[in-house]
Amino acid sequence: MNINYLYFIPIYILIFIMIYYLSNYLNLVDKPNIRKKHKVKSFYTGGICITLAFYFSIKFFSFEINLSKIFLYSSIFLILGFIDDYKSIKTGNKFLWQIFIIYILINQGFVIQDLGKFNFGILTLGEFGFVFTFICVLLIINSFNYSDGIDHLASSIFITTIFTLFLINEKIIFENLDFFINLLLILIIFSFFNKGIFLRYKIFLGNGGSMMLGCFLAFLCIYVTQISKYIHPSQLVWSLAYLVFEFNTIFINRILLKKKITKPGRDHLHYIFLEIGFKKTSVLFFINFLIIFFHFTGNLIFTKFGPLISLIFFILFQLIYFLFWFKLSKWK
């Protein structure tokens, strides 16, 4: 059955409007803090809007079972994030809940079992694969949560990263066209509400929304490298380079400065650019340009020199990124 995707747009918009007014009635306001400087009343229920809209589409489409599982279990983060936004959860407790949700998906078979085929054979991880999966997924989820600092940044990073995966292997999208078109439509509609174009106040992703998208992206990467074998792991990491480099840089810098790693701060790249004087639009463009730049550069290295050299250059680029970030942070 061929279904016109445009028929769903009014329904998706209606879902967003309903959640918007419910958020206003329940006073689910995203409160400013040391990182969030917005002065306009805003709601942290964007993740709920995206998930409900997508759940509606499941009724009409037969999505690939693994992708549906990933989205379903990733949406559990909405509960954790909602509670965290409404009444802050202690970092240790939040970390334990993240591990629990990740464990559910790992138990469904989404595990990094190997790092792909090299000249010496397939680099299998064995039992360490479980631990390595936890580390990688936690890194992506929390790095994605870091990126939810200015309008459209997290959602645009998500879309751009999916686009780079498509550039590596178009089967990822073409064989799951309904799934990704619906998700893209919903994220585009979210961007209008995030900007405050349709209604008076803005809707943000919230911690639940950003963690949900981060979890989905992380396990999507596991799916395309470990289950469907669409992409070699050392090729895929370049699509995640910005998220990995940013998280590691902040992590290392805070350790060197003896700062609390989990404490919110304005030491992320997008905040540094804003404090230097760049406009939000310029920051959005530059960060998404970085994602695409890393993708094309890394894939060129992978194609020319193979997976081992690709991983070596990935580590080298991490060092270059840290030096770039450190130099830029001194200009604030």
Give me the pLDDT at residue 1, please: 47
Burial label, 87 (beta-carbon count in 10 A; 0-12, 13-18, 19+): exposed
The pair of structure tokens assigned to 181 is 């078109």
Query: Residues 211, 98: contact at Cβ < 8 Å?
Result: yes
Rama region for 73: left / alpha / beta (φ>0; ψ in -120 to 50; rest): alpha
CB 157, CB 242: distance < 8 Å? yes
Q: Using one digit for the tens of pLDDT, what is the confidence trace for 281-304?
A: 999 999 999 999 999 999 999 999
- The number of folded domains in the chain is 1
Q: Closest by alpha carbon to 74, among 171, 158, 152?
A: 158
Q: Give me the average pLDDT of each 10-residue run along the chain (332 residues).
A: 75 92 83 57 88 88 88 90 81 86 91 88 87 94 85 90 90 88 92 82 87 94 91 93 94 83 78 88 93 95 94 95 88 66
pLDDT at 144: 87
Domain extent at residue 38: 5-329
pTM of this structure: 0.91
> Residue 121 carries which DSSP code?
E
Q: What was the pLDDT predicted at 34? A: 53
DSSP per residue over 273-290, as a string? HHHHT--HHHHHHHHHHH
Q: For tokens 């998404």, name the residue.
A: 288
pLDDT tens, position by position, 40-90: 678 889 999 999 999 988 888 888 889 999 999 999 998 888 888 877 788
| Biggest CA-to-CA distance, the chain | 61
pLDDT of residue 38: 53
